[in-house]
Amino acid sequence: MNFTPHGKHLIAGNWVAGERRFHSEPAHGPAHEFSVGTPELVDLACKGAEEAYASYALTTREQRAVFLDTIADEIEARGAQITEIGCQETGLPEARLVGERGRTSAQLRLFARHIRAGDYLDRRHDEALPERQPLPRPDIRMLQRPIGPVAVFGASNFPLAFSTAGGDTAAALAAGCPVVVKGHSAHPGTGEIVAEAVLAAVVKTGMHAGVFSLIQGGKRDVGTSLVQHPLIRAVGFTGSLAGGRALFDLCASREQPIPFFGELGSVNPMFLLPAALKARGGEIARGWAGSLTLGAGQFCTNPGIAVVIAGPQADAFIEATSAALAPMGAQTMLTDGIAAAYRAGRDRVAGTKGVQEVLTSMCDLRHATPYLFATSGKEWLANEVLGEEVFGPLGLVVRVADAEEMMAIARSLQGQLTCTLHLDEADTALGQRLMPLLERKAGRVLANGFPTGVEVCDAMVHGGPYPASTNFGATSVGTLSIRRFLRPVSYQNMPLALLPGDLR
């Protein structure tokens, strides 16, 4: 069954059309017309969210869990339509969209199970000690409570898992916070049909209609008015460093500053230690080529840098990587703008002093082909530009003189989402020296694997020191992400009848 978008915004339960329109720019298939968001619509959505908060924050964990499960059910019920329009808008293959839809539903259900268990509340109780000397102690209880309406910005590279009903939205709704989503213009039709699924769940479970709104399109004034609206209490964002930093600064400059949880990407360096490189350099090269080109390299965990100690094994590794990348054809990128930025990043790397072209190709329009470059550790340390993310299938091998220069590379890194060690038992001593450095630099440290593919689970951290993310103590994936939208409240000598239900 084909899905034809109506192109309206969802504002607190109502589909609203705007005066101005924009057209989607699909990779293939028909373009559709959508209403352009405005600050006035932002205001209506935020007021609806604040009105909903009064009742939604008081729902039971079971009620919210049923709501999350129902959203997942409604998304799956629209599975074929979501896949069809998602593939058209993004150019992503059908298997990728089906898998991402499954991940989106699974993380909604994971949060439902998580809040049912109740551990996230971090409940604490210090009983009164009226006879304690020299002063008695009052009865004090503590509980995590929802912070209020949350703004979420959809991501360009994940039309489902990091967008309309993705991880930030699921975490906020699980916490008891209404959500206002700013949809990404790269996939507005996908956003619309997912919003329909959320609205269906709102109706089925009897939630306040203001608990979820979706605003499409619009220029900077829409994003600015959303993060600066006085009723918004936190922002979740996945996107570029430049865009995220601009929104972060707006959040900080408010009369009442609010937290901005931005996931901004990284180069995700890999360190190939000598014994592993000698024993299985070819295998690592082939694995890297697959990870580097997965989804046209449009993952925030794309491993763009490989650090190796110069020598015959390093040369063989570079040759093997080039051989693995060479047969890979052009892939469609998510938008024309992303494709243009990829070519600009390629030119920036190629034009840097001391960089050698290993594998070059031709890419134009909305297509991406892989590139491989090499440089020395000395040149890396002298050129900060080489540490900037290139969003696409571009790899850079850094040949270092010895273990000490490899350590220097690790020290020089900015904040990363991931760092990877490829090592064998004989590399343990060097690995032990690197680990204290890498765990300071990244939110996730891997051994003998590749960082693309972020497991949604209790122990996952998808974040890291700036500029990988704007809050090093938070994660945007996994059940710990719910803590971003909660705050601890202590209740002293409070009558039981006045306490939140989870403390009675």
Phi, then psi, of 301 in degrees rounded to 5: -100, 15
419 is catalytic: no
Other beta carbons within 10 Å of 257: 10
DSSP states along 79-122? HHHHHHHHHHHH---HHHHHHHHHHHHHHHHHHHHHHHH-GGG-
Residue-wise DSSP of 227-269 = HT-TT--EEEEES-HHHHHHHHHHHHHSSS---EEEE------
Q: Which residue has the tokens 């009723």?
A: 231
Task: Give the Cα-Cα-Cα angle 471, 473, 476 (nearest 5 degrees).
Answer: 70
Q: How many CB atoms lie within 10 A of CB 19?
A: 7
Which one of the listed residues 300, 363, 389, 405 is annotated catalytic? 300
Q: Using CA atoms, how far apart are residues 150 and 424, in angstroms rounded to an integer?
A: 45
Residue bearing tokens 């020299």: 134
How many C-alpha atoms does 471 have within 13 Å on its Cβ side? 21
Beta strands 367-368 and 331-332, pairing class:
antiparallel
Distance between CA atoms of 165 and 183, rounded to whole angstroms?
Answer: 10
DSSP state of 503: G
Mode of pairing for the β-strands spanning 150-153 and 234-238? parallel
**Tokens, residue 351:** 């034009």
Least Cα distance to 453 among 189, 99, 61 occurs for: 99
Question: What CA–CA distances, in Å, run from 462 to 99, 170, 391, 400, 455?
Answer: 19, 15, 17, 28, 9
Active-site residue, from 263, 363, 389, 405? 263
Is 263 annotated in the active site?
A: yes
Catalytic residues: 263, 300
